[in-house]
Amino acid sequence: MDGIKYAVVTEKSVKLVVGKNQYTSNVETGSTRTEIKHSVELFFGVKVIAMNSHRLPGKGGPSRRHTRHYRRMIITLQPSYSIPTLLLKEKSFNQNTE
């Protein structure tokens, strides 16, 4: 899928999936919101109703090489849709924490 690098699986992102039907992923910095939206809708067969993005800083300093910045997208789906692969990971995550 063009533009999307990988899904972000953290405690906060799992809470967003369960509570608000929002999925978090890192995307390429050159991708536009429209490209990402169309990619997600076509690849997963879902309906995106909102997208938020922010740019995360790269790591580095004066004595180390600077790494690239990247963007993180939070994609909100309509309530009747979900992305099944992330939903399976979320269920196993909840079972392990209980």
- pLDDT tens for each residue of 20-33: 999 999 888 888 88
CB-neighbour burial class of residue 3 (10 A; exposed 0-12, middle 13-18, buried 19+): buried
Quote the pTM value.
0.73
Residue 44 φ then ψ, to 5°: -100, -10
Structural domain harbouring 48: 4-58+67-77
Six token digits for residue 34: 């429209």
Token pair in block for residue 98: 């209980």
Q: What domain count does the chain have? A: 1
- Range in 3-17, 37-51, 54-68 with the lowest mean pLDDT: 54-68
CATH of the domain at 10: 3.30.70.330
Residue 96 in domain: no
